[in-house]
Chain A
Amino acid sequence: MPNKLRSKEDLEALRRELIKERKSDRPLIAVCNGTACRPYGCLQLTEAIKQELSKRGLEKKVELRITGCHGLCEKGPIVIIQPGDMFYQQVKLEDVPEILSETVIKGTVIDRLLHTDPVTDKKVVHRDEIPFYRKQERNVLGNNVEINPTKIEDYIAIGGYAALAKAILGMKPEQIIEEIKSSGLRGRGGAGFATGAKWESCRHAPGDIKYVIVNADEGDPGAYANEGLLSGNPHSVLEGLIIGAYAIGSQQGYVYVRNEYPLALANMTIALNQAEQFGLLGKNILGSGFDFSVRINRGGGAFVCGESTALMASLEGKVGEPRAKYVHTVEKGLWNRPSDLNNVETWANVPLIINKGADWYRILGTEGSKGTKIFSLVGKINNTGLVEVPMGITLREIIYDIGGGIRDGKKFKAVQTGGPSGGCLPESLLNLPVDFDELSKAGSMMGSGGMIVMDETTCMVDIAKYFLTFLEEESCGKCLPCREGIKRMRQVFDEITEGRGSDKNIEFLEQLSATLVDSSLCGLGQTAPNPVLTTIRYFRDEYEAHIKDKRCPAGVCKTLIHYYIIEEKCPGCGICVKECPQEAITFVGKKKPVVMDEAKCIKCGVCSDVCKMGAIGKR
């Protein structure tokens, strides 16, 4: 058991000791063990490195650091070797002996493990030179590669909990709130409410007992930014939370994590225990006289529980249903007491602001949105992963410079920001600066940081229908417009995508959307029409093709597409005949084109996939 830290001096003394230990000249192998790297076999890889080190008797001479997510998830498993900041990607078990003998011992670079820039096709050795990282400002996520998230010592060694000591021993609560206000930090969970103002309202709300809450119920399809942060650097979130609690006057915090995030849950639990052992949680933290403890609660998987009031109901053990926020949660939240709820990423920004000051923080960003924002960059893009960019960067820079452009040389069609309640933005808006206000002006939103890139093979009508179907299932069903309205919208989309659309569809969708926006109880229903409205606004021609011409231009909506044999290209090889599950294609003789019976075709597309001659047409 470590000795509890009872003062700032204790903390600094420990830090000096830990830094000394880390500063040894030992080479270092940092292996990403983030959630996204795990299916690629990073755990087995880590084990193999361990065994190889011990086989060679190098356990003491080489440091092996098991870290959280490094960001470039597309290319996992990722291994970084120091000195030299060498970045190896897609590392396999059989690469391990060579990495040790060549790179770790001799310092030689193994060419085949290097990253290739998808734009220039050139190999890149150092992490900082990889285009994916070059335009990022990884202020919040950056420390993921520096620490083992299950070791509080690592976090302390890189300066962790210095902000806490500074805040609770040297600053008045009002001063902290002033600093956060002046930093311009806005909530990273979606709506972008000013964090400092929220804290201030909660501090001033009448009541002795107040709560602070970490919202880690990230549920947007395709988004895992909060997961990467919470599992990769849980102490940074916790440090922010303790500072916030002190500023607000709360002695009890909650971390609400969805149960589908086992690694985040495990690492946060470890972090809480360690912080308690080190005296950074509990009674009289660092001798300041401030008491604070934190509990973890697991969410049951309802998307709506990411909404603050539904989350609080769930914390109270009730069904996760939202309630009206006419009386704000900072006044009456959890158990009707003043409660401040912030997103994982918001909390993790707090120690940075306290350490480096609001002036430093304000340098990055735009007029109305300061600092950086983490996005889960996913979809039809070359470099999928977690990116952290300064506010105000353009969509184009994120997609092309960081994301490396669209996969397989296809054409960009749209990018969806903000999860299922966000909007789909077209190519003409690629130069849009990414910040809270610009995104909402364009009809989308920041959301919790999902960014889904779509290429020309995506049907925008089908995408809007997909998000509606998701929300229809995830609506809590409490209020009429959300429960019934989303269902009716989805039915209209069924009509459009099945060739039964009429010219009244779009007008009806717009009217119904207006009612959902205006009169739904919570943010889920109020923002549910966003994908519909933005696709109508930017891709109206696709709707019209479906409705008027009964045609799906992207070739996605099954009822509207037809496969046919391009006779002049078909050599009659018969491979499609064998593969067709419906026996819809008949072989009529060598070197004669095959014949397709469209009545039997179920439009599975297997024929088109197997044909090497490009003789299957789609219209």
Chain B
Amino acid sequence: MVTFKIDGREFKAEESQTILQVAKENGIDIPTLCHHEAIEPYGACRLCIVEVAKGRRNRIVTSCLYPVEEGLDVKTNSPRVMSNRKMLVELLLARCSKNKVINELALQMGIKQSVIRPEYLEEEDCMVCGLCVRTCEQVVGVSAISLVNRGITKEPASPFLESARDCIGCGSCYYVCPTGAIKMEDKNGTRFIYNWKVEFKLKKCKICGNYWAPEKQLEYIRKKWNLPEDFFDICPTCK
């Protein structure tokens, strides 16, 4: 156990915990976009930056990755943190100028109008946090998609930008995406995930007749857990 401070309050925690974990457990709000507690921290969006002082050293770190230390003095909203975070949101806003989540975030930060010239504003929804890719790898375990290219052309994509062969249609990417950049739709017994150019036949419940999950996903789970063939014939609601 180590003892340290966040915004003047003293805390005790296990050394393996990150600043963000301790802050969240104690109701201290630190904004995040690329973080999800089911997935390894990644440090892409940088929104969760805090200022830490240790000895004479004072620096900005990402709280999602920084492990707590004895004697650490953390400030989650110092002027330095706030001015950096504001600029980060400016950068997000310039990229995702029409995105609802990002615009709300900008408003919370007091940004009414972007500092970037209007002709440079982009209308992306994806801000390349990689949550979709990391979820597909770490939670679903199929790695059907990955981040491709480098620098400003980096984006999550299916292999060779063709239909993602290994995708099981579970939609975890869609659910986990913080900015709604993944377009998924269930229509007439078929699920479409447009970003990865895939479509899946949905399974019909033998009792209620509702379509309730992609057949490929159910088959994947059934084989993985060695379940009987008729295991998924009935939907969870009717079971």
Contacts and interface: CB of A to CB of B under 8 A. Distances in A.
A545 interface: no
Contact of A518 (B84, B92, B116, B130): B84
Contact of B80 (A472, A478, A488, A518): A518
A508 B92 CA distance: 16
Contacts of A326: 61, 65-67
B141 to A, nearest CB: 17
Given A324-B43, A481-B46, A519 B88 contact: yes
Contacts of B42: 478
Interface in B63-92: 65-67, 80, 83-84, 87-88, 91-92
Nearest to A491: B120
B191 interface: no
B87 A484 contact: no
A511 B83 CA distance: 9
B140 to A, nearest CB: 19
Nearest to A522: B43
Interface stretch (B151-159, B175-183, B210-218, B231-239): B151-159
B60 A518 contact: yes
Nearest to A471: B151
A519 B84 contact: yes
Contact of A476 (B62, B88, B150): B150
A524 B141 CA distance: 31
A1 interface: no
Contacts of B80: 518
Q: Interface extent on B, as a size class?
A: 35 or more
Contact of A485 (B44, B91, B117, B154): B91
A519 B46 contact: yes
B84 A515 contact: yes
A484 B150 contact: no
Interface in A287-312: 302, 304
A236 interface: no
A514 B83 contact: yes
A319 B80 CA distance: 32
B65 A475 contact: no
A475 B150 contact: yes
A477 interface: yes
Interface string A467-503: 0000011111111110111011001000100000000
A311 to B, nearest CB: 15
Nearest to B49: A519
Contacts of A480: 44-46, 88, 91-92, 127-128
Given A477-B128, A478-B44, A484 B91 contact: yes
A487 B67 contact: no
Contact of A521 (B46, B66, B130): B46
Contacts of A6: none
Nearest to A473: B151
Contact of A477 (B65, B88, B152): B152
B106 interface: no
Interface string B160-204: 000000000000000000000000000000000000000000000
Nearest to A319: B147
Contacts of B92: 480, 484
B131 interface: no
B108 interface: no
Contacts of A487: 152
**B contacts with A: majority SS:** mixed
A256 to B, nearest CB: 18
Contact of B154 (A302, A477, A495): A477
B152 A472 contact: yes
A495 B118 CA distance: 13
A327 interface: yes
Interface string B100-128: 00000000000000011100100000011
A478 B149 CA distance: 11
A485 B120 CA distance: 13
B132 interface: no
A593 B60 CA distance: 64
A514 B80 CA distance: 10
A514 B83 CA distance: 9
B153 A477 contact: yes
Nearest to B92: A480
Contacts of B127: 480
B154 A483 contact: yes
Interface string B34-68: 00000000111110010000000001111001110
B5 interface: no
Contacts of A512: 87
A323 interface: yes
B46 A324 contact: no
B67 A327 contact: yes
A476 B44 CA distance: 11
A510 to B, nearest CB: 11
Contacts of A481: 46, 87-88, 91
B154 to A, nearest CB: 3
Q: What 5 A-B pairs are tightest by C-beta distance, nearest first?
A: A477-B154, A515-B87, A484-B91, A518-B60, A475-B151
12 contacts: A304-B150, A326-B61, A472-B152, A477-B147, A477-B150, A477-B151, A483-B152, A488-B120, A491-B117, A512-B87, A514-B83, A519-B46
Interface of B: 42-46, 49, 59-62, 65-67, 80, 83-84, 87-88, 91-92, 94-95, 115-117, 120, 127-128, 130, 147, 149-154
